Amino acid sequence: MAKKWEFVGKSFCEAAALNLKQGNKHDASNCYIEAGVGYKKVDPQEAVNCYMKGIEIMTDMGRFTTAAKHHMTVAEIYETDIVDLEKAISHFEQAADYFKGEESISASNRCLLNVARYAAQLEQYKKAIDIYEQVGKSCIDNSLLKYSAKEHYFRATLCHMCVDLLNAQLALKKYIEAFPAFEDSRECKLLKKLLEKLEAEDADGFAEAVAEYDSSLKDEKSIEKDDTKFVDSDEEEFIEFESKLLVSSLKNTARTTSEVYSG
């Protein structure tokens, strides 16, 4: 089966080269993309090479929305098959730029949220915070997306907590001022409790609050899954990501407490 997929990829590459010689850029770009689809099954790096050749032609032709979608595919290959988060971030950023240029703000924000998630995993918290604040503000300015701002401010504050208590406290205050409805949310109440535990250097209390929140969230999603038979995979990934950020914050709390006692 692997040889068949390799043959598919090679055949489409040859077709792409032939189309380029004949000046058929549109067909050539599509052939490179199809080659990437074939190679993805057996050789992820060669798949990336083919996708990039197709993307280069598309951008030369001004097909930025289509190019952005394929940059997302390349990012996903780096994310799951090659496992290089830095390169995944780079391609999600490029996709976000192209979508923004074509005024597809919602698609651009989805890409940026992936950038923020992976940046946080790589402990690039400043980068993640900037994106969450940017997307949060854009949601506030959109009546249809307004209430999703709380999720972005929640994650931004978690990132702050992984670095510095005072900045996290100031950031939360700023987010509440920007979006007053955030203060009554479950997320904000948790953040206030966690910040209190951080300030008191109470690692056990912090861990207990995190465990309670995590448990209630999982129970809620389990009920939703039973009711709808469907839970969005992206949402599940972000729930898992939030849990990781909370654990990182807890480790920071424990480290700070240890430094205080050892000092």
- Which residues contact residue 241 at a Cβ distance below 8 angstroms, ignoring those fewer than 6 apart? 117, 120, 121, 155
Q: pLDDT per residue over 137-155, tens digit each?
A: 999 988 888 989 999 999 9
Nearest residue to 178 (alpha-carbon basis) of 126, 145, 138, 144:
138
How many whole angstroms separate alpha carbon 139 and alpha carbon 146? Answer: 5
Give the side-chain half-sphere CA count within 13 A for 218: 9
Summarize the confidence of residues 152-159 as an average pLDDT. 95
Q: pLDDT per residue over 178-210, tens digit each?
A: 999 999 999 999 999 999 998 998 989 988 998
> What integer pLDDT is reported at residue 9 of this predicted model?
93
Q: pLDDT per residue over 49-59, tens digit each?
A: 999 999 999 99
Q: Kindly tell me if the per-residue pLDDT of 224 is higher than 60.
A: no
Summarize the confidence of residues 220-226 as an average pLDDT. 57
Tokens linked to 57 = 């032609």
> What integer pLDDT is reported at residue 210 of this predicted model?
86
Rama region for 23: left / alpha / beta (φ>0; ψ in -120 to 50; rest): left
Q: Which long-range contacts (CB under 8 A, 24 or more apart) does 207-215 make?
A: 207/250, 210/246, 210/247, 210/249, 210/250, 213/186, 213/246, 214/243, 214/246
> What integer pLDDT is reported at residue 211 of this predicted model?
86
SS3 92: helix
Mean pLDDT of the chain: 88
> What integer pLDDT is reported at residue 225 of this predicted model?
52
How many whole angstroms separate alpha carbon 105 and alpha carbon 99? Answer: 7
| Alpha helices (H) along the chain | 2-21, 25-40, 44-60, 64-77, 85-101, 105-121, 125-140, 149-161, 165-178, 186-199, 203-228, 233-262
